[in-house]
Amino acid sequence: MKLNCLIVDDEPIARNLLEGYIGRIPEVLLVKKCKNATEAYEALHETSIDLIFLDIQMPTITGTEFLRSLRRPPLVVFTTAFANFAVEGFELNSVDYLLKPITFERFYQAVQKAIDRKTPLHPQPMPETPDYIFIKQDSKLVRIDHADIDFLRAEKDFCWIFCGGEVKYFVSMHLKMLEEMLPANKFQRIHRSYLVNLSKIKALKGNTLALRSEEIPIGANYRQLLMEKLGL
């Protein structure tokens, strides 16, 4: 059995070191090297991934924030230069926590742990899917319940999150990244710039839909799937 894996680290030297280590272990197959969370989200969307070697201190979105955002995360081995995140790392059910500089012997041990975790002796119950997300606002993480979100609007490399018709959060994340964090049975992309909470739709008229006092355009490429989701 081979484990499809990702390397997610903003340092080229660290990525290349881990790539070399992976090449020496036949049980793991490197699918992609990612320098940030955005590239990692894209890789997870494109390919089935079993294991991520994940740095913690990365710009914009840290490794722990990235892991918390995933609905069904793969196995994760943290690779970091900072020992003070170890407790949080294991609270997130990581396979292992490797401190840089990482030796091949220590890396190999972590891979064997991942292999053991991937083939448990007894079936493991699926963890409950959280009904909220955390986003970074200033220097803190803010919790937003799914039920409170009306819609999300993209603005270049950023997004607005609209809640209660009034409250807005401006986050430095792509809409695609936020779409991955939210349940597909409750949220639907209806335009390249809009993602809506299906339960908040009040009316549809032509190529627009109404959410509270907002009217949002429906893109031609998204209309059919939206109608199917709404049972229309």
Q: For the segment 147-205, what is each residue's pLDDT rounded down to a tens digit?
A: 999 999 998 889 999 998 777 889 888 888 888 888 888 999 999 999 999 999 999 88
Instruction: Report the interhelical angle of 104-118 vs 12-23 (nearest 10°).
Output: 70
The predicted pLDDT at position 211 comes to 86
Task: Concatenate the DSSP letters of all residues of 90-116 into one string.
Answer: HHTT-SEEEESSPPHHHHHHHHHHHHH
Indicate yes or no: pTM above 0.85: no
Structure tokens at 61: 């979105």
**Mean local confidence (pLDDT), 6-20:** 96
Tell whether the model's pLDDT for residue 146 goes beyond 90. yes
Integer Cα distance of 114 and 71 in angstroms: 19
Integer Cα distance of 153 and 178 in angstroms: 10
Among 160, 133, 155, residue whose Cα is nearest residue 67 = 133
Tell whether the model's pLDDT for residue 121 goes beyond 60. no
Identify the weakest region by mean pLDDT among 8-22, 76-90, 190-204: 76-90
Among 2, 41, 43, 46, residue whose Cα is nearest residue 22 = 2
Domains of the chain: 3-118 (3.40.50.2300), 132-229 (2.40.50.1020)
The predicted pLDDT at position 14 comes to 95
Identify the weakest region by mean pLDDT among 8-17, 119-128, 213-222: 119-128
Q: For tokens 């890789």, name the residue.
A: 43
Percent of the chain whose predicted confidence (pLDDT) is above 90: 46
The predicted pLDDT at position 122 comes to 52
Question: Which residues, in sequence order, are CB contacts of 10 under 8 Å at separation 6+?
Answer: 35, 36, 55, 58, 59
Q: Are strands 208-211 and 201-205 parallel, antiparallel or unpaired?
A: antiparallel
